[in-house]
Amino acid sequence: MDIKALISQMTLEEKAGLCSGLDFWHTKSVERLGVPSVMVSDGPHGLRKQDLNADHLGMNESIQAVCMPAACATASSFDRELIGEMGRAIGRSCQHEQLSVVLGPAVNIKRSPLCGRNFEYFSEDPYLAGEMSAAFIAGVQSQNVGTSIKHFAANNQEHRRMSSSSNIDERTLREIYLPAFEISVKKSQPWTVMCSYNRLNGTYASEHPWLLTEVLRSEWGFEGYVMSDWGAVSNRVAGLAAGLDLEMPASGGINDARIVEAVRSGELDEAVLDRAVERILTVNYRYLENARPETPWDKEADHLLSAQIAGECMVLLKNEDSILPLSREDDVAFIGEFAEKPRYQGGGSSHINSFKKTSALEAAQGLKVTYARGYKADADETTDALIAEAVEAARKAKVAVVFAGLPDAYESEGYDRPHMRMPACQNKLIEAVAHANPNTVVVLHNGSPVEMPWLPRVKAVLEAYLGGQAVGIATVRVLYGDVNPSGHLAETFPVKLSDNPSYLFYGGEGNEADYREGVFVGYRYYDRKDMDVLFPFGHGLSYTTFAYSNLRLSAQQITDQDTLTATVTVTNTGSRAGKTVVQLYVGDPVSSVFRPVRELKGFEKVELQPGESKDVSFTLCKRAFAYWSTQLHDWYVESGDFTIEIGQSSRHIDVSAAVQLESTASLPRHYTMDSIVMDILADPRAAAVVQPLVNAIMNSLNPGDGQESEAAREAISEDMNLAMIQYMPLRGVLSFGGGVIDPAAIQAMLDSLNT
């Protein structure tokens, strides 16, 4: 298809019309020229295809589909191939349903546990979020169906989401909130990008030229089209000029007319409009020319795939006395309504009309399991009778398993959580069951962290997250040991909400949300502060054990232009086959800027038989060691020693080594009479020139009025003298130089250094 030739035949009105939707889910057609309409659909973890009574909040019913585990769960798998297979399955379903683009994945950073949409997002860590996103995108698009990575950018709260400004400094934006998008674009090139509702540093994302054009296209090389989140457009003409190609949903012709008027008045160059239309049609025809509506959609097979994925994602948080796995010979009580009616997805635009679902109670048929409801899931409510029934069931069982978590109303698109607590009725139930039976296990169904006041009184906790429609099958498989749990937390569970670094500022004041915690998000904050957490980032237990040893680096000294390979030996030291997530962290112990203790820069999931060992290697380039320099407006590596740490969580480091890096770049420096001695000495080039002046100042320092003894004067050490003058500006040389230093000579020295 010659897209440019096609566009040349279009009227101005036809071109403007193509830049907004036909309705909620379709792009416009140009019947005169045979340009067809295509359909897009919600669904980061399944299809929410709607034809009638369309909405974007999940309130109206959509076609029956398969609900896969949500991103809160899949990120915990740390398994690129697994999420790629999920993407391929969703891509096949899109082909069957004649959908050109699936609206996902969502990669916004989990800044606070309160964000109502956290269940759709992968992680508090940008590297993990980017890698999982890129794998999902590659999976979907392998089926010749597009993805729309969202929400670009800095959409980290639902509160005032359509008006709030995310105010973020340059370094924090580059290190935390943009990399997941960057990794996805560079590795997997999503067909589309969806801009967010919010403003970024005062400018709406939908009309932000730096974001949509300079960064996304010029820096990262994005090739597809940018669409708006539904209703995110403020000024359509400004948005088009900034790089927003497609407005969704339909504007009723209002914004189309504004585009036409802007072109005719000379406000908007028609070439900008042509470029947007070309981007949209290029993506549409990429799908149309590869459409395969005959693609079979085996929902039953995908249901079982969903169960397999969910089992790989579950995180065993605690397993005291190895109470898990359960024995099929023992009497077990399943307690809590979620055992019968599991919460397996979140609310809003990602809500899937599942063609079936399997609860843990159904999956446990044939096992020695009894059931007690315990609480009412649709309200924070229980009764004495429900508690008594649960306690009685717990007393009669060898092990009591309480299914708990967050009800639908607690987590949804459109609003944030007011607290981090579970319903009081569930906490009360867990306490009562644990008192009745010391062998109590808790299974959690939730999309983000919860406080656990009952944790010391239960033997085990299995985090199932929102595990999709087959979560019951996966849960029983893990509880009974058919699947060895291998999930690891993609987010930190703090002890309480007030421990979170954004606690004082989250939500913002009015329409201003200041990200004052900077780069210290999630484990970057907790680890730097050495703060107790409930469960650390990367944590996950197994029914076997693993040992990490023999860390080898390919070099002990490199420059920032080199790559470094780190290899570690991993051994299954237990009696069961299992999988472990090998996590590599990099740290810069001595830095001129505030940096985290460690940052995730590599991970691999490895399966090992009992006694088996494997070598796992990681290759690190400049970005693994760099921070974003606001002086260079680029990535920068400081010379010095860096730590390479490998372990099983950010708090469980098994082996470590050091590598010396030499920077090939230098930061721009400008010295004046107000520059202090410490900063000058930190620059080797300047230090060599200024050191004689420093020596002169030190020699002139006299600890007294000349009447003390020689011994007393010698007691003032050279180190103490240097400590006294390190904060002294150069102009202090004139005061402490004994009048023998020529001001003109100092100025000449500065001029030489600065040129």
CA distance 72 to 132: 11
Instruction: Please name the residues in contact with 135: beta carbons below 8 A apart, sequence gap of 6 or more.
Output: 80, 81, 83, 84, 87, 188
Angle at 117 between CA 113 and CA 118, to 5 degrees: 40
What pLDDT is recorded for position 114? 97
Look at residue 33 and tell me whether its pLDDT is greater than 90.
Answer: yes
Proportion of the chain above pLDDT 70, given as a percent: 95
- What is the distance between the alpha carbons of residues 691 and 294, in angstroms, rounded to a whole number? 78
Contacts 24+ apart (CB under 8 A), 282-286: 282/3, 282/224, 282/225, 283/100, 283/101, 283/146, 283/191, 283/192, 283/224, 283/225, 284/27, 284/36, 284/38, 284/100, 285/1, 285/3, 286/144, 286/146, 286/191
pLDDT, greater one: 675 or 74: 74
* pLDDT over 60 at 716, yes or no: no
pLDDT of residue 749: 83
Confidence of residue 738 (pLDDT cuts 50, 70, 90): low
Residues 6+ apart with CB under 8 A from 565: 553, 554, 617, 618, 619, 620
Q: Is the pLDDT of residue 59 over 70?
A: no
Whether pLDDT at 425 is above 90: yes
Of residues 61 and 554, the one with the higher pLDDT is 554
Q: So what's the pLDDT on residue 714? A: 54
DSSP state of 36: -
What is the pLDDT of the chain when averaged over all its residues?
A: 94
Res 52: pLDDT: 56
Residue 713 has pLDDT above 60, yes or no: no
Check if 679 is active-site: no
The C-alpha angle 740, 742, 748, rounded to 5 degrees, equals 150
Q: Which of 42, 229, 416, 527 is catalytic?
A: 229
The answer to whether residue 58 scores a pLDDT higher than 60 is no
- The full DSSP string for 566-597 is EEEEEEE-SSS-EEEEEEEEEE-SS-SS---S
Task: Provide the 3-class DSSP secondary structure of residue 663.
Answer: coil
Quote the percentage of the chain above a pLDDT of 90.
Answer: 85
Q: In terms of residues, how long is the chain?
A: 755
Q: Find the mean pLDDT for residues 433-441.
A: 98
CA–CA gap between residue 312 and residue 301 (Å, rounded) = 17
CA distances from residue 356 to 67, 91, 343, 407, 469 in whole angstroms, order as listed: 9, 20, 13, 19, 7
Read off the pLDDT of residues 282-323 as tens digits, 9 standing for 90 and up.
Answer: 999 999 999 999 999 999 999 999 999 999 999 999 999 999
pLDDT value at 46 more than 70:
yes
724 or 121: whose pLDDT is higher?
A: 121
**pLDDT at residue 452 is higher than 70:** yes
What would the mean pLDDT of 644-666 be, rounded to a whole number? 97
- Tell me the mean pLDDT in the region 681-690: 83
Q: So what's the pLDDT on residue 475?
A: 98
- At 729 the pLDDT is 87
Residue 428 has pLDDT above 70, yes or no: yes
First to last CA, the chain: 56
Beginning with the edge strand found earlier in the chain, give each strand of the sheet holding 199-200 in spatial order.
203-204, 199-200, 165-167, 512-514
Chosen CATH of 546-662 out of 2.60.40.10, 3.10.580.10, 1.20.210.10, 3.30.70.20: 2.60.40.10
Q: Would you say domain 299-529 falls under CATH 3.40.50.1700? A: yes
Q: What is the pLDDT of residues 70-83, one digit of tens each?
A: 999 999 999 999 99
Alpha-carbon Rg for the chain, nearest whole angstrom, is: 30
Query: Cα separation of 226 and 496, whole Å?
Result: 39
pLDDT given at position 319 = 98
Domain locations in the chain?
38-288, 299-529, 546-662, 677-754
Mean pLDDT lowest among 79-93, 392-406, 586-600, 675-689:
675-689
In this structure, of 178-182, 234-238, 377-381, the range with the lowest mean pLDDT score is 377-381
Q: Where are the beta strands (DSSP E) in 75-138?
A: 101-103
**Range list of H helices, 402-497:** 424-436, 471-479
Query: What's the pLDDT tens digit per position in 316-375?
Result: 999 999 999 999 999 999 999 999 999 999 988 889 999 999 999 999 999 999 999 999
The whole-number average pLDDT for the span 123-149 is 98
What span, in angstroms and rounded, lies between the C-alpha atoms of 148 and 325? Answer: 40
Residue 740 has pLDDT above 70, yes or no: no
CATH of 38-288 given 3.40.50.460, 3.90.180.10, 3.40.1410.10, 3.20.20.300? 3.20.20.300
| Reported pTM | 0.95
Residue 34's CB is within 10 A of a number of other CB atoms, namely 8
How far, in Å, CA of 408 to CA of 466, rounded? 11
Q: What is the pLDDT of residues 401-422, one digit of tens each?
A: 999 999 999 999 999 999 999 9
Which of 277, 270, 240 is CA-nearest to residue 6? 277
Nearest Cα neighbor of 448 from 490, 485, 478, 487 is 490
Q: What is the DSSP letter of 327?
A: P
Question: Could you identify the residue written with the tokens 């020699």?
Answer: 699
Predicted pLDDT at 393: 98
Q: Show the tokens assigned to 716.
A: 């003032």
Q: Please say if the pLDDT value at position 743 is more than 90.
A: no
Contact criterion met (CB below 8 Å) for 448 and 416? no
Rounded-to-integer distance, Cα 220 and Cα 190, Å:
12
Is a pLDDT exceeding 70 seen at residue 619? yes
pLDDT of 692 higher than 90: no
**Are the C-beta atoms of 361 and 371 separated by less than 8 Å?**
yes
Predicted confidence at residue 56, as pLDDT, reads: 59
Distance of CA 155 to the CA centre of its chain: 12
**Please, which pLDDT band fits residue 739 given cuts at 50, 70 and 90?**
low
Please give the Cα distance from 201 to 37 (Å, whole number): 36
State pLDDT tens for residues 143-201.
Answer: 999 999 999 999 999 999 999 999 999 999 999 999 999 999 999 999 999 999 999 99
